[in-house]
Amino acid sequence: MELGARSDDEGSMLATLKSSRLAGALILAFALGLTAGTTLAQPVRADNVDAELTAATDAVVPGQPLVVGLRLKHDEHWHTYWQVPGDSGLPTRIQWKLPPGWSAGPIEWPLPERLPVGPLMNFGYEGEVLLLTTLTPPANLKAGADVALAARGDWLICKDVCIPGGADLKLQLPVRDSAGPSRRAALFAATRARVPAPIQLQNAEAVIDGSRLQLSFVRAGASTQFDFLPLEEGRIDPAAKQPVKREGERVSVWLTAADPVAPDFNRLKGVVVAEGGPMNADRGGWAGVIDIPLKSGSVAAAVATTSKPGAGTPRAAEVAAAATPVTFWLALFGAFAGGLILNLMPCVFPVLSLKLVALLQHQRDGASTHRPLLAHGAAFAAGVVLSFVLLAGLLIVLRAGGDQLGWGFQLQSPWVVASLTALFFLIGLNLLGSFEFSVGGTIASSRAARDLQDDRVAGSFWTGVLAVIVAAPCTAPFMGAALGYAVTQPGPIAIVVFATLGLGMALPYLLLTLFPKVLARLPRPGAWMERFKQLMAFPMFATCVWLLWVLAQQVDENDVALMLGALVLLGMAAWALGLAQRGAGRFRWVAAVSAAVAVYAIVSSTGPGAVQAGQSARAKVVGASAWQPWSPPALERELGAGRPVFVDFTAAWCVTCQANKRLVLTSAAVTRAFVDKKVVLMRADWTNRDPAITEELARFKRNGVPLYVLYDGKGGAKVLPELLSSGIVTDALANL
């Protein structure tokens, strides 16, 4: 979550901006014509950005304006801010230190990008940007001398966190009677074309009615898409929708005033952007600054024929509106209900069945030599709640450090998936009696599996821990919005929401131990219990099948085969260990060697090379299907063409996702509706870690999958429920 926020005392804020170390030296010599001249700049490497002063020409001409620029080249996905940063952030500042007689004009800002952050909207720059300033030298400068220019640049650079940064920069130029273009001349020309100039819109009128505001004018040219960027803070809501309606040559743009409406809001100052701006000049794109009187009147509700912010991400405002607001108490209810439902998920039930076996054993042996059942329930609940809290804390810490992570992130690691597969396979073999766990066992997971099966309190605790590990990928109904809310809140609130989720999951088992009479209704102990114990091995093996299927979505078929070979070796190790435990001690070496080779095979099948091979193989399969791989540019391209788009945010380890896909999204009725409405189908696969998908989920206030979004191609976005039905999808499509 973005941490940058505007300060009422910008001078104090900028005074605390930290300086960055020097990363370059004087490196350029540039000459034109027969006269030798030198342009020297001093690039500086600051936090996540390279900064330098540069000029449009290679020399200073006495008395003639000199255009210079602060060039910022941001690291990937980092950005700084425009003159009006939006909902958060700080604009870049330049303090010039010029020789006597020089003067500096204001910064000339190129058109910014839209930078959505959850429900907020900011304006700024990614990649490379040049902030222009016109300097005027005195007319009495003497040709042949050099001039040293200096400036202090201060900025706020952000990604998932914001870092105040700045640098002292220098530029040395020769003084000549004439000047030619510098090595940055092309960059200056491109930037100049993106600087909005004042424009007189024909018959322009701005009317405000409460918080609704309507800007109307007669359009020039063939432009059809329009966007508005405010040039004053606290006047216009940056994240609100901007519906556009065309009636002949007259264009109306609806805006939303910031809350509360400023009492002195009597002029509308901003940048009108057509077709995304001057960078789209081939489609009639332009940008112009307006400053027109704002009068009170009646503003009708917006009925848009088009709504597409053109200066950046076209869906940013729609995303903010589409996300359903979640309160603290609603988040707690969703977390608790989701935790209850997690117990019914197929990835969790096999783990809980292990403790059911232990409880039956406890009932058979009597409580005289064991702790009360309630102690088991409390230990299980403690394991569940503590694990949820620890996972939440880890997720929050990693996100604060700049990582894009979401719920279920641990199963985005093939190594974790493979390790869980091996663990469940060994547990299944143990339930079948292939071997027994002992204190001296050499298998790394032996103690964990033993604790899961015996009726000690520690076993109940570790059952809770393992249940959370395998439950995390399952986003039950009600959970998605609650988790999305939690990770955008301060740490204590987030921890409470995650703990409530754990309490919901632990409650049924806790109640079972609190009211032992329910256990008394179970069949009397006998030989059937051993059969039941053996039967519980098959849910373990079924879970292994599911985990192997998840692994197959992450690596290629060769690595899946290697993992299957590792399971064969683990089976041999378990068999040999069982023989050794029954007196054939020489088989211990067979068990040790088999286990060691199995571990090596697991590590080999889950490395970075395996992940890359799997991604390449899946890309070929997706390209041949009706579903396109999701990406921000692909989505923008389809929406820009006015086509409706359905996006399925999914992951192989998400059970709800797979159920929806097989039972609903591939059903005949839904498939026919997609075709009839000519819907573009996109799939955002989060099986492996993908920061772009995580950022998109955050825009909808979600932190996990599934998420289903239907874009109507006209600027609207509808979020569908986490549990789909054919009726839900077809009804949504019917409204297109």
Predicted confidence (pLDDT) per residue in 627-676, tens digit: 989 988 889 888 888 899 999 998 776 667 777 887 889 888 898 899 99
No. of helices (H) and no. of strands (E), the chain: 22, 26
Is the pLDDT assigned to residue 206 strictly greater than 90? yes
CATH of the domain at 16: 2.60.40.680
Q: Which long-range contacts (CB under 8 A, 24 or more apart) does 572-581 make?
A: 573/443, 573/598, 574/426, 574/429, 574/430, 574/434, 574/435, 575/434, 575/435, 577/435, 577/441, 577/443, 578/433, 578/434, 578/435, 578/436, 581/435, 581/436, 581/438
The mean pLDDT value of the chain amounts to 76
Q: Residues with Cβ < 8 Å from 54, sequence gap 6 or more?
A: 41, 68, 69, 71, 130, 171, 182, 184, 187
Pick the residue with more confidence: 631 or 263? 631
Strand ranges of the sheet holding 80-86, from the earlier edge strand across to the other edge: 80-86, 120-125, 113-117
- CA terminus-to-terminus distance, the chain: 33
**Residue 1 domain-assigned?**
no
Residue that wins the pLDDT comparison between 415 and 486: 415
Q: Enter the tokens of residue 159.
A: 């990604």
- Residue 112, CB-side half-sphere exposure with 13 Å CA sphere: 27
Decide if pLDDT at 448 tops 50: no
Report the phi/psi class of residue 256: left, alpha or beta, with left for phi > 0 and alpha for psi in -120 to 50.
beta
Domain-terminating residue out of 536, 568, 583 = 536
Q: Which of 290, 251, 237, 296 is nearest to 268 (CA)?
A: 290
> Which residue has better confidence, 155 or 491?
155
Say whether pTM exceeds 0.85: no
CB distance 357 to 454 below 8 Å: no
Which of 510, 536, 562 is a domain's end point?
536
The pLDDT-based confidence of 600 (bands split at 50, 70, 90) is confident
More confident residue, 255 or 352: 255
493 close to 6: Cβ distance less than 8 angstroms: no
Same-domain check for residues 348 and 379: yes
| Position 25 confidence tier, pLDDT thresholds 50, 70, 90 | very low
DSSP states of 531-562: HHHHHTHHHHHHHHHHHHHHHHTTS-HHHHHH
Could you read off the pLDDT of 502-521 as tens digits, one per residue? 888 888 878 877 776 766 66
User: Which pLDDT belongs to residue 403?
Assistant: 47
Q: In what order do the strands lie in the sheet with 645-650?
A: 628-629, 680-685, 645-650, 707-711, 717-720
Q: Are residues 434 and 507 in the same domain?
A: yes
pLDDT of residue 698: 78
How many domains in the chain?
4
Whether residues 41 and 110 fall in one domain:
yes
306 & 335 share domain: no
Long-range contacts of 488-495 (CB under 8 A, 24+ apart): 488/1, 488/118, 488/698, 488/701, 491/393, 491/396, 493/328, 494/392, 494/396, 495/389, 495/392, 495/393
Q: Do 268 and 241 share a domain, yes or no?
A: yes
Q: What is the average pLDDT across 706-729?
A: 88
pLDDT value for 680: 94
Q: For residue 232, tell me if it sits in a domain.
A: yes
Alpha-carbon 214 to chain mean position: 33
Is 164 a domain residue? yes
The CA distance from 339 to 337, in Å, is 5
Do 715 and 677 lie in one domain? The reply is yes
Tokens of 79: 């950005």
Is the pLDDT confidence value at 484 over 50? yes
138 has a pLDDT exceeding 90: yes
pLDDT for the residue 112: 95
Does 5 fall in a domain?
no
| Same domain (yes/no): 334, 293 | no
Residue 606 in 3-state DSSP? coil
Please indicate, yes or no, whether residues 217 and 352 belong to a single structural domain of this protein: no
Per-residue pLDDT band for 455 (boundaries 50, 70, 90) equals low
**How many residues appear in the chain?**
736
The model's pLDDT over 678-690, given as tens digits with 9 standing for 90+, comes to 999 999 988 776 7
Amino acid, single-letter form, for residue 62: P
Please tell me whether residue 470 adopts helix, strand or coil conformation.
helix
Do 244 and 306 form a contact (C-beta atoms < 8 A)? yes
Pairing outcome for strands 717-720 and 197-198: unpaired
pLDDT of 588 strictly over 60: yes
Q: What residues are paired with 60 via a beta bridge?
A: 175
Region 74-93: mean pLDDT is 89
Both structure tokens of 680: 């573009």
- Retrieve residue 513's tokens: 């131990």
Residue pair 495/389 in contact (Cβ under 8 Å)? The answer is yes
- Asked which of 138-152, 291-305, 576-590 is least confident by mean pLDDT, the reply is 291-305
Question: Where do we find the tokens 């519906």?
Answer: 243
- Which one is predicted more confidently, 463 or 483? 463
Query: Where is pLDDT greater, at 312 or 56?
Result: 56
Question: Which of 152, 171, 195 delimits the end of a domain?
Answer: 195
Tell me, yes or no, whether 550 lies in a domain.
no
Tell me which residue of 79, 18, 17, 28 sits closest to 53, measured CA to CA.
28
Q: What is the pLDDT of residue 531?
A: 75
- CATH code for position 293: 2.60.40
Higher pLDDT among residues 366 and 427, named by residue = 427
pLDDT of residue 66: 96
- Residue with tokens 């519980």, as numbered in its chain: 536
Rounded distance between C-alpha atoms, residue 639 and residue 715, angstroms: 8
**Rounded Cα–Cα distance for residues 439 and 155 (Å):** 59
Q: Are residues 661 and 727 in the same domain?
A: yes
> What pLDDT is stored for residue 332 in this prediction?
80
φ, ψ for residue 732, nearest 5 deg: -65, -40
Q: Same domain for 185 and 213?
A: no
More confident residue, 692 or 526: 692
* Confidence tier at 118 by pLDDT (50, 70, 90): low
Q: How far apart are CA 606 and CA 613, in angstroms?
A: 11
Specify the pLDDT at position 73: 94
Residue at 569 is within a domain: no
Per-residue pLDDT band for 153 (boundaries 50, 70, 90) equals very high
Tell me if residue 282 falls in helix, strand or coil. helix
Ramachandran region, residue 715 (left: φ > 0; alpha: ψ -120 to 50; beta: rest): left
Tokens 């500086």 -> residue: 44
Tokens 């929708």 sit at which residue?
A: 241
Best-predicted range by mean pLDDT (40-49, 184-193, 359-368, 507-516):
184-193
518-555 residue pLDDT tens: 666 655 555 665 676 677 778 778 878 877 887 887 77
Residues 216 and 127 reside in one and the same domain: no
Q: Exposed, middle or buried, 592 (CB in 10 Å: 0-12/13-18/19+)?
A: middle
Place of tokens 């020297």: 40
Is the pLDDT confidence value at 93 over 80? yes
Q: What angle do CA 283, 642, 303 make, to 5 degrees?
A: 100
The domain that contains 665 carries what CATH number?
3.40.30.10
Token readout for 168 is 């002292």
- What pairing do the DSSP bridges indicate for beta strands 66-74 and 103-104? unpaired
- Extract the tokens encoding 184: 């940055």
Q: Tell which residue, 161, 179, 228, has the closest CA to residue 63.
A: 179
Share above pLDDT 90 across residues of the chain, in percent, rounded to a whole number = 25
Q: Is residue 394 predicted with pLDDT exceeding 90?
A: no
102, 30: one domain: yes
State the Rg of the chain over Cα. Answer: 32
- Which residues 6+ apart lie within 8 Å of 83 measured at CB? 91, 107, 109, 231
Distance of alpha carbon 736 from alpha carbon 732, whole angstroms? 7
Dig out the tokens for 155 from the structure.
């900025």
What pLDDT score was predicted for residue 607? 66
Most confident of 277-286, 525-534, 573-582, 617-626: 573-582
Q: Which amino acid is at 53?
A: L
Q: Is residue 78 part of a domain?
A: yes
The residue range of the domain holding 308 is: 198-322
Whether residue 575 lies inside any domain: the answer is no
- Per-residue confidence (pLDDT) for residue 350, from 0 to 100: 58
Q: How confident is the model at residue 59 (pLDDT cuts 50, 70, 90)?
A: very high
* Maximal CA-CA distance, the chain: 108
Most confident residue range from 56-65, 117-126, 336-345, 486-495: 56-65
Question: Across the strands, what pairs with 719?
Answer: 709
What is the pLDDT, as a whole number, of residue 217?
92
CB distance 610 to 556 below 8 Å: yes
Find, among 193, 67, 184, the residue nearest to 133 by Cα. Answer: 67
User: CB under 8 Å to 269, separation ≥6 — which residues?
Assistant: 230, 231, 232, 235, 289, 290, 291
